[in-house]
Every structure is written in C-alpha cells, then in structure tokens.
Amino acid sequence: MSTNAPLLKIENLSFKYFKGRDYVLKNINLELHEGEFILLMGPSGCGKTTLINTINGLIPHVIRGIRKGKVYIEGEEVGEKDLKDISTKVGTVFQDPETQFFTLTVLDELAFGPENIKLPPEEIEKRIDLAVKATGISHLLKKDLMSLSGGQKQRVAIASALTMMPKILILDEPTTNLDPRGAVEVLKTIKKLRDETNMLIILIEHKLEEVSKYADKVIVMNEGEIIAMGHPREVYSNPQLLYQLGIRPPWSAETIIELKSLGLINGENQIPVSPQEAAEILEKEIRNLDLKIDPLELDFVKEDLGYYESLKDKEPVIEIENLWHQYPDGTVALRGINLKIHRGEFIGIIGQNGAGKSTLLLHLIGLLRPSYGRIKVFGKDVTKMSIAELSQRVGLIFQNPDLMLFQNTVWSEIAFGPKNIGLSKEHIEERVREAIEMMRLKGFEKRHPRALSRGQRHRVAVASILSMRPQIIIADEPTTGQDYGASKKYLELLERLNAAGATVILVSHSMDLIARYAKRVVVLKEGRILLDGPTREVFAKEELLATTDINPPYMTQISRPLRKIGAPTILKLEELIELMVKIKSVEIKYEKRY
C-alpha cells in the first residue's frame, strides 16, 4: 500500500514549551507513508502528545514554544501552512470526545468541519455519507450528542474527523475512557478504516493486545526521543526495553518470550502480537500430547481450594439486601442486589457502563440512598449513619483524582478528612505522616495538589482516603490513563492494604488487573448480579461473560487451548508457567513410559 514518497516527514524536530525547562521532543526524524498503521507508545510524559501536536499543526500555530526542525505533510512544511489547511490533511481524535464537540446533534457535528472550509452542500453530504459508512453510525445521525454512549461519542468524533477527508488520522488514546463494549466498537471502526482506506493512521493506545495485530509499525518514545521503531514482533521481542520504560508488552508476546526463555516451548516460534496467535503457539505445543492434567495437582489451584467456602466464617462488613435504585429521571440502575462482603476480602466488580457499578458504590459511601432495600455497613444501616460516620469506615477513591482535590497543599488535602471528624492536632499529624509515608509523598507536602502529575495527584487522592483509616477501600477504575508501571504500583499498594486487613473493592474494566488481584469477582449486568464467585470460576464462564460483552483476561484467552487437556482457567503468567512445567514433566514421563 505504501508509496515511495513519504506522506509525513519529520526532520530533526525538537520542541520546548515556553514554560518548560527541557526540550520535550529531541531531534525526531521520521518518515511515514500512506496506508501505514502506526502504533505510538511510551510512558506518560514521553512526548507522544507533543509529537502529534506538531503533526496536526497545533504546534506551532496554537501552542507556542521553541520549535526546531521541520515537519512536512505531502512535502509542505506544517509551520508555513495555515491551520485551516492543515486540518484538511490531518484529523485528530482525542481521548475525551466531548472536548472536541461543537454542536448538539450528530449530523450538525459531522457537517461542522466541512461547512467551516466552505464546501458546497452536495460535497458536505457526500463526505458525511462516506464518514458515516466508514464508522457505522447511520442510526445515530439525528441523535443528540449528549445522549450517546462513550463508544458512540468516540465513533462520532472519528467520523467528524473523516468528513475533512484527512490524509493522516491521529487517534490519541481513543478507548481510554470507554468500557469494554465501547472500546470494542471503536477498535472495530479503526480496523475498518485501516482495511478500507489509504490513510496514514497514527494511534496512541495502551490496549496493545487489541491493536498490535493491526499495526504495521510500532514507535516507542522516551524522554522526547524515538528509542525503537519497527514491526510489532520486532519491538516486542525486546521486552526488557519496554519494562525499563514502565510499559508492559502485550501479554501474548510477554508470555511466549517467557516460556521460550524457560525452555517450555519451542524457541523457534515467532513473537505473537495477539492472544489468538499466542494461543495457536500453545496449541501447537500440546497438539500431539496424550495427557490429562489433574488441576488438583497444581499449587495455584490448591491455594484456591476452600477460600471461597471459608468466607462464611468471616465477619460480614457489607450486607446488601434487595437493593433497588431508581434515579429521578426514572432509570432503574439497580434491580434487586443481594450481596455480602466479608472482612479482608479483595473483591473485583466488573460490568459494562450502565451496569450499576457506580450506583452501587455510591450507596456504599452514603452518597445515594436506596430506593428500596437495605444496606448495612459493619452491621449498621447506612441510612442511619451520617456521611462523616460512614467515611471513617468506607473510603472511595474516584477514577478522576481531580474530583477529590480541593485544598491548596498536599498536607492540608490529606489532613482535611481527619480534621473534619474532629481529631486532635496530634492525631491528625500522625495520620497525615503515615499516609504520606505510605504513598511516598515525602517532599511534596507544601506543593499544590493540582500542580502535580496525574500519577502523583492519584497518590495524593489515595493518601487523603488512607488518612481516614477506612476499613473498606473502594477503588473506582484506579488505573485509567495510567501506564503499566504506575498501575502496578497502585495495585500493589491496594494489595498491601488488603494484607493488612482492609477490605478492598476494586472496580475496573481491566480484566487482567481483576484477574491478578481480586480473589472474588462480582459481574453486574443491567443492575443485576449476573455472576459472583471465585475469580477463576467466574472467568471460566466465558459464554455468560460474553452476554455482557466481557472478554476474559488475556492470559485466560492465551491459555484456552490447554483446557482441552484438563487445565484449569489460567489467570496469571506464573500460573501458566507452573502448568507448562507440569505439562513438560508429564511429557517427559510419557516419553519415558513408551
């Protein structure tokens, strides 16, 4: 598909924001062609967004700074062209589609761009028609933008970029704020564009498992420089490089590399770029084996045994009895939830947007009151507890830390809760110091919380909850928009708090995080509990999960072929290794036997 002349050429590009100390982009050289699908990755703050802003012309036309070097699109330098002309060649879709909507209805939004460049009505109609077909949103045309789901909004944003018929389409983390169903919708649209158009697509995305198979090239950035570039198989074959940057390579590549290095699979297998490819490799490995695995011989299965049963001897900390909730607009968000959560549990709550997860959580912290039914926290009816009383027992960490930060210094932010419940100065200080220590915020005490990086802001938000010493910690989508390194640290902290006795409720769209950390999973669907059980058992019910568009964790998908020989559902890489060791040793015995 590629032609020889590059569509996008970047020469010795460096950029520094006026207020910044250092160059954010350092001597970037890049040549990309028509029809290529590029996956751009790097840790937070590595310069990805700045790079795309130099391509779509926001730098230097809107965002000012010191720019050195050249950016050419079809041989024309971006700095020398008008932004309006660049916008006909480069379309950008941002993380939050709402930030780029100007109108009220889908049709108006799609017409907005072409109208602004004074295209005749027939041409506008033609372009809208093409964009609508490419993104599959014909049924949404007359709808109000605000009435759309996250996935639909993002597809409208893509369609409105397409109406400008760009040569380059840039997508900046388009699925970050979406639930699995919305993410699938958007990724399907991106795949369709890749297959059916000749655009150069540049995608920044953390969901490497989903997009790597489409990518022609992966570009890895760090500290403003391109440090690796090549086909996904090539780039993922050096996972150490990605680990150093706090990026986790796709589970499929990581798993096969790990198994290869341990000699558990054939070393000649190529690096997979999707769970399906990795599963095929494992299938090949066991194809000719005549063996049956007894799950009860596996240590990780033995560890699970009896755990769930043993919960009944533990003290219930949350008891929900036939909880219904109807919002003032008539929407019934919860429809008869009965649930018991025990002290010390690490429980994962999953489900699509609108399944009732947030409504349920808001009941637990007293911000919503049941329309019908009852909730008891530590045996006491929440309707009889004040918010202050409840907040000492239950702490909710919001998805967006900014919603929780309103004080002028980190110290006062963390001290706010304890002060409000009337603790003495000494006790407040003790709690704040303890929270600062736990969240590694020493040295930031006098800083303004909003002036910190997102990761640091998240830590301040968690510290402000920890200073209340809640016995129940609820984390709502804690890792959204964070790179792997930051997510891992965050969840390890929750794990430590859980080990110290706190009950942790984790709400996430990342099945891999849930699989790794939660011991029990509750699946919500349309305000009801669809499934509730031990994590391994819940993720084994793939057909039931599919009814709510939930895919099992990638490790479960990768190891699916092993179920044919009786293997249990695999949730973690360590478990797969243990299983493969078992399989290999069985194979050796098998060979010896005959």
Measured from the CB atom, the residue of 85 and 532 that comes closer to another protein is 532
Q: Which residue has the tokens 């680990």?
A: 243
Measured from the CB atom, the residue of 63 and 332 that comes closer to another protein is 332
Beta strands in 386-492 (DSSP E): 394-397, 472-476
Q: Does 534 bind another protein (CB under 8 A)?
A: yes
Q: Does 506 bind another protein (CB under 8 A)?
A: no
Candidates 489, 272, 474; CA nearest to 362 is 474
DSSP state of 272: P
Round the CA-based radius of gyration of the chain to a whole number and report it. Answer: 26
Q: Which of residues 310-329 bind another protein (CB under 8 A)?
A: 311-312, 319, 321-322, 324, 326
Q: Which of 528, 563, 582, 584 binds another protein (CB under 8 A)?
A: 528
Q: Are 197 and 32 in contact (CB under 8 A)?
A: no
User: For another protein, which stretch binds (CB under 8 A), given 59-67, 417-425, 449-457, 535-543?
Assistant: 535-543
Measured from the CB atom, the residue of 231 and 563 that comes closer to another protein is 563
Q: Does 549 bind another protein (CB under 8 A)?
A: no
Q: Does 361 bind another protein (CB under 8 A)?
A: no
Provide, rounded to whole angstroms, the least separation between the CB of residue 319 and another protein. Answer: 8
Task: Measure the CA–CA gap between 388 and 394, rounded to whole angstroms.
Answer: 10
The DSSP H or E segment spanning 29 is strand 25-32
Provide, rounded to whole angstroms, the least separation between the CB of residue 517 and another protein. Answer: 18
Distance of CA 237 to the CA centre of its chain: 23
Q: Does 576 bind another protein (CB under 8 A)?
A: no
Beta strands in 235-382 (DSSP E): 316-326, 332-342, 346-350, 372-377, 380-381
Measured from the CB atom, the residue of 266 and 331 that comes closer to another protein is 331
Beta bridge pairs of residue 91: 169
Candidates 488, 550, 15; CA nearest to 247 is 488
Q: Does 68 bind another protein (CB under 8 A)?
A: no
In this structure, what token pair is assigned to residue 257? Answer: 């590399």
Q: Does 342 bind another protein (CB under 8 A)?
A: yes
Provide, rounded to whole angstroms, the least separation between the CB of residue 381 and another protein. Answer: 14
Distance of CA 14 to the CA centre of its chain: 30
Q: Does 295 bind another protein (CB under 8 A)?
A: no
Q: Does 307 bind another protein (CB under 8 A)?
A: no
Q: How many CB atoms lie within 10 A of CB 228?
A: 18
Q: Which of 30, 63, 423, 544 binds another protein (CB under 8 A)?
A: 544
User: For another protein, which stretch binds (CB under 8 A), given 190-198, 244-252, 305-313, 402-410?
Assistant: 305-313
Total residues interacting with another protein, rule: CB under 8 A:
36
Provide, rounded to whole angstroms, the least separation between the CB of residue 507 and another protein. Answer: 16
Q: Does 330 bind another protein (CB under 8 A)?
A: yes
CA dist 590 → 191, 290, 394, 542, 562 (Å)? 44, 8, 54, 32, 17
Q: Does 280 bind another protein (CB under 8 A)?
A: no
Between helix 150-162 and helix 106-116 the angle, nearest 10°, is 20
In this structure, what token pair is assigned to residue 200? Answer: 């150069």
Q: Which residue has the tokens 């970047």?
A: 10
Q: Which of 61, 81, 191, 541 binds another protein (CB under 8 A)?
A: 541
Q: How far apart are the first and last CA of the chain?
A: 53
Q: Does 532 bind another protein (CB under 8 A)?
A: yes
Q: Which amino acid is at 262?
A: L
Q: Which of 122, 195, 268, 309 binds another protein (CB under 8 A)?
A: 309
Measured from the CB atom, the residue of 321 and 389 that comes closer to another protein is 321
Q: Which of 181, 188, 260, 335 binds another protein (CB under 8 A)?
A: 335
Task: Measure the CA–CA gap between 293 and 568, rounded to whole angstroms.
Answer: 9
Q: Which of 227, 445, 533, 563 binds another protein (CB under 8 A)?
A: 533
Provide, rounded to whole angstroms, the least separation between the CB of residue 335 and another protein. Answer: 6
Contacting residues toward another protein, per CB under 8 A: 308-309, 311-312, 319, 321-322, 324, 326, 330, 332, 335-342, 371-373, 520, 522, 525, 528-534, 537-538, 541, 544
